[in-house]
Structure 1
């Protein structure tokens, strides 16, 4: 950005500053290392911020009406003993690096800003010769804050000490392949015993770690911590409950940037407070943009990917497939990946097995968590688990037949009768097992969630809305089951095009766009003209956009999911034509786009076309 443009942006932001945030909105900023020598770009530590830029942040916040608050003020507001000021901001510092004392603390005193310092107690006063693999280089004793420095900061009245765990800031083996995921949420895989940690063992391990951290902070600073900042922002409701039992009734993640704090709305539950991660050494202009732009306006670009294409009985080939997938996703740079979590080798739309440890179906391979975590960390995308709602082919033929929906359609997807308590227990258990064993940020409910007007005697044929709402309620139960282990999940549900284009067909599917958009974060509309037999795909897409606008006028919730394969003719859709469809939809105001399938093995659609069509970057061409 040129200097005049930067100055113009700063002026516009300053003019916008008059629109104050809601009085009960808390902004939390997450910092790590504050150093003098951080360049504008290219520092090995992406989380380091220069002292100069940090001081400029404080000055900008002060000058634009942000009011610093302490954790005590946040707790008081949640418990009805006060109210947060307009544009309240809380500063947090993770990892307990020495610079929080040498560089940040003097500036906090100068500006009168309170802060929360979250320390890994196993790293405080690291013994001489001890090292921590911190990323850019090994960190030693001189890189971490001491207990004496923590006491001094706490006794100033400006700084409160939080736990960042004792020894959970690391990965643990989570599958037979030896992949590591965050210790606070991982069911440890014991390669020697060839088994996973039980829930009781997991609880005991997390409790012991947090109890050790609480005791060290209390003994060395004179006050036990009231809050936990989860390493890598990875946590679940069970871990939060353990922290609460130990007196840490406040917890923080990195989901979003603001949280409503008001007695009666948020109540006294202060687990999972949002924070904005400050990284890449932002200048004031960059920080101001982050605080002013509306993240809800960000467009989605999603690839829906078959994990069946990654799986191979040969581990070496599976590893090559995974590398090819990660490389393609990195180069396309979508915002999201909808990743298959079930095995469907016969392609009939229902699950024959699952790609995660579970109690109900065979596990084809412990693959989902491995791929999802690498997509998140190596390719930088949000991963949504794509899973059936009803389509599970249970191993016992008699049980499968007894629990199946008696359908008259010979070519439909096999589905279980969700009105039966036994089926609800099985499917909610599958979603819970997925969340126990995997890291993901949302759920895509498969297109198997439909009901014909001739199916299930519990619903009268003339009651299509009752069937639609019953299926919606069931999917929300599944989300709730998963959220016990994966909080704050986003939801997307597949929707066929016919109920949108032909409203009278809603009775045939038990699907309605308006009800879906009210229940889920997004609806993934299957904008697939060849699948629907259209002889004029472009005109068909135009009609679909017009029909969607009736229920979603600004097109804020509907994801238009294109097909990349003409399944009837067994051939891929030309990449140039797909790009033209994307441009056509965007020209009509469509904001969210996806496609299926994305074939990373055959490079279809071709990488150059895929990048132009599905990149979430503002400049969707490969940097050279």
Structure 2
């Protein structure tokens, strides 16, 4: 399923009759500060509504020509694949406002209705073809619908377009523009990235078989297209926009260094050739919408630049040993998510039945820790395809794993010195981040999560912490010596200069390890975002970094989002409103603080036997935070069955901030069309 870009800004502009757009400078709070070097447009059908196979992505012939004409009139320059390769490999400059036009799937309407326009304005393009569809003589299985073969390009039409010198043939896979069963529950997921579930053996496709399947598919398409069109593809256009490190490595081996995606964002100097981003042009997109998309890309404003409205979802509420009851529970969850109006879900991927703070089980197949149920991918996919939610984060521990006793890393745990009971300490059992054996296990858990699940991000649990009496394990002591410190926590604590340096080094070490895990997941889930839970005291007390090895400023630098657990009842704050204000004031002092910080509220009072926070208080808190300038809000927990918090209240309160305002001034010139 393509990750669509919602054109929220056009609604704002229409309503106010004014402008709110970005100038040509990149977004200063984007992770990539570089300018957009070229824009790629992704088209599908070019046909009138009455003739379309899928009206969502069909652009009428008249609108297509208007869009091409508008690009020319506004100083855009069309480029070829050769131009991009020459720029990246040989440093040959691209023209200003460079645009590459592409077409997916190989519809006949591209020849009938787009090719005349391409010839008229001399516009080069890439057409991505699915070999198995072209080989059919009668009907094509198009996402489960049997479509007449003549709805797709003929060999004669393709060769004519190639001969014109304007059209380059790209691969869209041979037979992977389809869904394969990706879990025991039967979800059909993109073939290129899915490890197939075999019903007969009740097992997943192993990595060797998976890689061979992808390799053989891409190879077969290259051989077929070279014979059928006279061109060997240099461009891989990923079906549904889905790809991973295995697939793109195979494509490069087969002579396709360029990969076109539907990922959000700009094509800057650090965007890899194998992951170039495109604007998906939809049927309802006006010239103004197109211009807004292009300007936002140039400013590095992406789909993520909307407000976060998030709920923590406990999979423990959905899990049931009875599969039928589990499916009923999932149905209740999907209905509730729709009613909440949220756009982001932090979805629990682990289970802690003994409630000691360390994960005993996970909800996805892996090689290191017992699986309670193969549930995470099922729930994530259903949320992504059946609700309005745009981003799903896997909520995961980093260190708090209770491994089976047979694991080589089971005993490599954080050692906490005995201290005054009144001293602040993390109570979770955790694996030592300094143990190579523990690191290996944790990396494997994250890789297995990313391979088996549909996710857009990772939320690191609040266990990414070490107190000022931790870690005194042998592995930790060895690391301290490498840092030039004394060999034990007691000795380090006795020297203030060492203690201060130790605190900073631990903070950096934990953040660095989290980034390693994120990069492992990023291999399988390109575009993945990171978030982390942060204790409120880190934002309120200048000494808190000593207690937690957490830093607000460093967290904002290292993670896409920092979710501060702003929970006044848990913190026993005397004045909750002042508590929130103090946190927000501290966030505002950080560069890009508001842009990258989520204020996470509590919906129950754990100190009063899980008493729900009142409807009125939840509503007023969310609205007051918006008034303080907060962009991103989440809450925990969400009880699916007791309507805590009240769904109508959350929906209405969140709707008070429908889009995020930017301090850019933009002028649009294109008509609404």
Structure 1 position 60 matched with structure 2 position 99 = no
Structure 1 position 286 matched with structure 2 position 289 = yes
Structure 1 position 512 matched with structure 2 position 554 = no
Label 1:616 to 1:254 Cα distance change in 2 as closer, same or farther (>3 A): farther
Partner SS for 2:334? helix
Contact 2:346–2:392 (Cα < 8 Å) also in 1: yes
Q: How does 1:204-243 map to 2 (within 5 A)?
A: 204-243=212-251
Partner SS for 2:87? helix
Label 1:246 to 1:397 Cα distance change in 2 as closer, same or farther (>3 A): closer
Structure 1 position 547 matched with structure 2 position 571 = no
Aligned match for 2:275, one of 265, 272, 275: 272
Partner SS for 1:288? helix
Who is 1:133 aligned against? 142
Whole-angstrom CA distance in 2 between matches of 1:392 and 1:301: 29
Label 1:8 to 1:292 Cα distance change in 2 as closer, same or farther (>3 A): farther
Aligned-pair CA distance for 1:406 = 1.9
Contact 1:555–1:591 (Cα < 8 Å) also in 2: yes
Contact 1:575–1:609 (Cα < 8 Å) also in 2: yes
Structure 1 position 260 matched with structure 2 position 268 = yes
Structure 1 position 376 matched with structure 2 position 400 = no
Aligned-pair CA distance for 1:257 = 4.2
Label 1:310 to 1:421 Cα distance change in 2 as closer, same or farther (>3 A): same
Q: Which moved more, 1:42-51 or 1:251-260?
A: 42-51
Q: Over residues 564-622 of structure 1, what are the superposed CA-to-partner deviations in whole Å (9 max), with x where a residue is unaligned?
A: 111111111112211211111111111111111122222221111121233598399xx
Partner SS for 1:488? coil
Contact 1:333–1:379 (Cα < 8 Å) also in 2: no
Structure 1 position 96 matched with structure 2 position 106 = yes
Whole-angstrom CA distance in 1 between matches of 2:647 and 2:286: 34
Structure 1 position 451 matched with structure 2 position 473 = no
Aligned match for 2:190, one of 171, 182, 187: 182
Whole-angstrom CA distance in 2 between matches of 1:617 and 1:586: 7
Who is 1:440 aligned against? 455
Whole-angstrom CA distance in 1 between matches of 2:505 and 2:73: 54
Aligned match for 2:443, one of 409, 428, 438: 428
Aligned-pair CA distance for 1:144 = 1.0
Aligned-pair CA distance for 1:499 = 1.3
Whole-angstrom CA distance in 2 between matches of 1:30 and 1:389: 38
Label 1:16 to 1:184 Cα distance change in 2 as closer, same or farther (>3 A): closer
Whole-angstrom CA distance in 2 between matches of 1:356 and 1:2: 40
Aligned match for 1:603, one of 643, 661, 671: 643
Structure 1 position 406 matched with structure 2 position 406 = no
Who is 1:191 aligned against? 199
Q: Which moved more, 1:117-126 or 1:520-529?
A: 117-126
Structure 1 position 170 matched with structure 2 position 178 = yes
Structure 1 position 310 matched with structure 2 position 318 = yes
Q: Which moved more, 1:452-461 or 1:224-233?
A: 452-461
Contact 1:387–1:446 (Cα < 8 Å) also in 2: yes
Contact 1:355–1:363 (Cα < 8 Å) also in 2: yes
Aligned-pair CA distance for 1:525 = 0.9
Aligned match for 2:169, one of 158, 161, 170: 161
Unaligned segments of structure 1, at least 5 residues: none
Contact 1:579–1:613 (Cα < 8 Å) also in 2: yes
Aligned-pair CA distance for 1:153 = 1.0
Aligned-pair CA distance for 1:202 = 0.4
Q: Over residues 300-319 of structure 1, what are the superposed CA-to-partner deviations in whole Å (9 max), with x where a residue is unaligned?
A: 22222111111111111111
Unaligned segments of structure 2, at least 5 residues: 1-8, 28-33, 481-491, 494-498, 661-673
Whole-angstrom CA distance in 2 between matches of 1:163 and 1:116: 10
Q: How does 1:490-529 map to 2 (within 5 A)?
A: 490-529=529-568
Aligned match for 2:93, one of 83, 98, 120: 83
Q: Which moved more, 1:242-251 or 1:291-300?
A: 291-300
- Higher relative contact order, chain-length normalized (CA < 8 Å, sep 6+): 2
Aligned-pair CA distance for 1:45 = 3.0
Who is 2:597 aligned against? 558
Label 1:530 to 1:272 Cα distance change in 2 as closer, same or farther (>3 A): same
Whole-angstrom CA distance in 2 between matches of 1:72 and 1:582: 51
Q: Over residues 138-197 of structure 1, what are the superposed CA-to-partner deviations in whole Å (9 max), with x where a residue is unaligned?
A: 422121111221111111111111111011111111222222211111111111012111
Aligned-pair CA distance for 1:23 = 7.3
Aligned-pair CA distance for 1:219 = 0.5
Q: Over residues 525-555 of structure 1, what are the superposed CA-to-partner deviations in whole Å (9 max), with x where a residue is unaligned?
A: 1111111112321121111111222224651
TM-score, normalised to structure 1, is 0.92
Label 1:187 to 1:98 Cα distance change in 2 as closer, same or farther (>3 A): same
Whole-angstrom CA distance in 1 between matches of 2:286 and 2:247: 36
Partner SS for 1:258? coil
Corresponding pairs, count: 609
Whole-angstrom CA distance in 2 between matches of 1:464 and 1:3: 48
Partner SS for 1:350? coil
Label 1:111 to 1:476 Cα distance change in 2 as closer, same or farther (>3 A): same
TM-score, normalised to structure 2, is 0.85
Whole-angstrom CA distance in 1 between matches of 2:252 and 2:408: 42
Could you say what the CA RMSD is over the residues aligned between the two structures, in angstroms? 2.7
Aligned match for 2:607, one of 553, 568, 577: 568
Whole-angstrom CA distance in 2 between matches of 1:120 and 1:312: 41
Partner SS for 2:267? strand
Label 1:539 to 1:81 Cα distance change in 2 as closer, same or farther (>3 A): closer
Aligned-pair CA distance for 1:232 = 1.2
Who is 1:464 aligned against? 503
Whole-angstrom CA distance in 2 between matches of 1:368 and 1:117: 36
Structure 1 position 358 matched with structure 2 position 366 = yes
Partner SS for 2:132? coil
Whole-angstrom CA distance in 2 between matches of 1:369 and 1:24: 34
Partner SS for 2:595? coil
